[in-house]
């Protein structure tokens, strides 16, 4: 198992530090729960863009382990309200998410367009 890097996200190497700050609209973000995420998918729709984020476990540049699955799971669970309290309304309903994904699936991908298939 890799040794866990204990520093602040982006301090393990210059490449990650640059990727987190340049350009201003970076695909890396630290969520309010303290987890580092990378946007790995984007679907433009008529209503609004849809993004898919994945938690980063290893630095994609230097390979150091930045967080563990257990830390990510604990951070996600820490934001949940205890039983008995009403949960916050989701920002996107399941129907809206399904509509967003369906809309994106109907459009040809970059690779399909590149190959002349869309």
Do residues 104 and 50 make contact, with C-beta atoms less than 8 angstroms apart? yes
pLDDT tens-place string over residues 57-70:
999 999 999 999 99
Question: What CA–CA distance (Å, rounded) separates 54 from 10?
Answer: 16
Mean pLDDT of the chain: 80
pLDDT tens-place string over residues 10-51:
999 999 999 998 876 788 999 989 999 999 888 888 888 888
Contacts of 2 (CB under 8 A, 6+ apart): 58, 63, 64, 65
Question: Predicted confidence band at 111 (pLDDT cuts at 50, 70, 90)?
Answer: low
Q: Is the pLDDT of residue 95 over 60?
A: yes
């Amino acid at each position: 198992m890799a040794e866990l890097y204990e520093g602040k996200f982006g301090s393990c190497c210059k490449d990650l530090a640059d990727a987190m700050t340049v350009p201003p609209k970076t695909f890396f973000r630290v969520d309010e729960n303290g987890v580092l995420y990378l946007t790995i998918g984007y679907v433009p729709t008529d209503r609004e863009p849809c993004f898919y984020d994945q938690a980063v476990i290893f630095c994609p540049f230097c390979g150091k382990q930045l967080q563990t699955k257990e830390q990510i799971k604990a951070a996600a669970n820490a934001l949940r309200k205890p039983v008995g309290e009403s949960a916050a309304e989701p920002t996107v309903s399941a129907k809206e998410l399904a509509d967003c994904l369906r809309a994106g699936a109907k459009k040809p991908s970059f690779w399909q367009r590149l190959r002349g298939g869309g």
